[in-house]
């Protein structure tokens, strides 16, 4: 009886690894960055998750304009629907809009039926708003086999990140975000920051530090010869 229980538990763990862990690890650590160059040399994709947000996104857009940098905004569809003017501004200023879920739920805890509805409803919202969506980033980077199938069905590439700065944390400051990015960027990669907060781990007001950090690290990285690019 005990052996049977252990066998069932092992099978459950194995299925979870195949269904969830392997797709996530592949896109976090193995998949090449979506650059035009085959060599990731001093190229950066700058991306922002969880918005748009009237408290932070407008100022962030101004700072990106000031440095002539274009970014990818992975938006939550329900927030996009609430802020159509911000979505229009993001597009008109030359930035790219990506799909970051319908309502920022963890797909590791959701059924395939939920994911099917989420993709359909979320993308319908964005495309009704005139957004051309080409890329998907899962909340918390949690992918599974259904995510891959749905992304392929809707013609979406998957982009996670190579650099995080924990800018959502309670003790986050503009200086800490900047220092973390400078230490971790190496020769380039995909930076993930946040222009709004979602989930229990996101501290109230943290995106304000991120916006200030953008003013600090963009000029420094540009002076060092980094090129900010959009995915192909």
Q: Would the CA dihedral through 46, 50, 52, 57 be positive or negative?
A: negative
* pLDDT at residue 170 in the model: 87
162: CATH: 3.20.20.370
Nearest-angstrom CA–CA distance, 52 and 71: 13
Which phi and psi angles does 77 have, rounded to 5°? -60, -40
Q: Mean pLDDT, 10 residues at a time, over the chain (232 residues)?
A: 78 89 93 65 93 97 98 98 97 98 95 97 97 96 97 97 93 94 92 87 87 96 95 87
Domain total of the chain: 1
| Helix-helix angle 57-66:206-223, to 10 degrees | 10
pLDDT of residue 203: 79
Domain assignment of residue 106, given as a range: 2-228
Closest listed residue to residue 160, CA positions, set 122, 186, 192: 192
pLDDT at res. 37:
52
The values of phi and psi at residue 90, to 5°, are -55, -45
Taking the C-alpha atoms of residue 31 and residue 45, their distance in angstroms, rounded to an integer, is: 15
**What is the pLDDT, as a whole number, of residue 36?**
59
> Which pLDDT score, from 0 to 100, does residue 39 have?
57
Q: Whole-angstrom Cα distance, residue 138 to residue 106?
A: 8
Contact 140, 110 (CB under 8 A): no
Cα gap 50→178, rounded to integer Å: 20
Q: How far is CA 10 from CA 22, 109, 114, 122, 133, in A?
A: 16, 19, 26, 35, 39
User: Residue 108 carries which DSSP code?
Assistant: G
């Amino acid at each position: 009886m005990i052996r049977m229980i252990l066998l069932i538990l092992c099978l459950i763990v194995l299925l979870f690894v195949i269904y969830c862990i392997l797709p996530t690890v592949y896109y976090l650590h193995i998949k090449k960055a979506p650059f035009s160059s085959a060599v990731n040399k001093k190229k950066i994709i700058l991306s922002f998750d969880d918005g748009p947000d009237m408290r932070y996104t407008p100022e962030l857009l101004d700072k990106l304009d000031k440095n002539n940098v274009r970014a990818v905004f992975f938006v939550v569809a329900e927030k996009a629907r609430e802020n159509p003017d911000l979505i229009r501004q993001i597009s008109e200023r030359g930035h790219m809009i990506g799909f970051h879920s319908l309502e920022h739920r963890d797909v590791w805890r959701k059924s395939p039926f939920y994911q099917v509805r989420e993709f359909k409803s979320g993308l319908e919202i964005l495309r009704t708003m005139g957004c051309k969506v080409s890329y998907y980033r899962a909340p918390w980077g949690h992918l599974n086999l259904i995510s891959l199938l749905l992304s392929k069905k809707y013609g979406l590439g998957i982009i996670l990140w190579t650099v995080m700065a924990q800018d959502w944390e309670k003790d986050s400051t503009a200086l800490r975000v900047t220092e973390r990015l400078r230490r971790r960027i190496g020769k380039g990669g995909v930076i993930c920051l946040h222009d709004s907060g979602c989930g229990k781990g996101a501290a109230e007001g943290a995106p304000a530090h991120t916006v200030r950090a953008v003013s600090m690290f963009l000029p420094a990285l540009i002076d060092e010869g980094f090129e900010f690019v959009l995915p192909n």
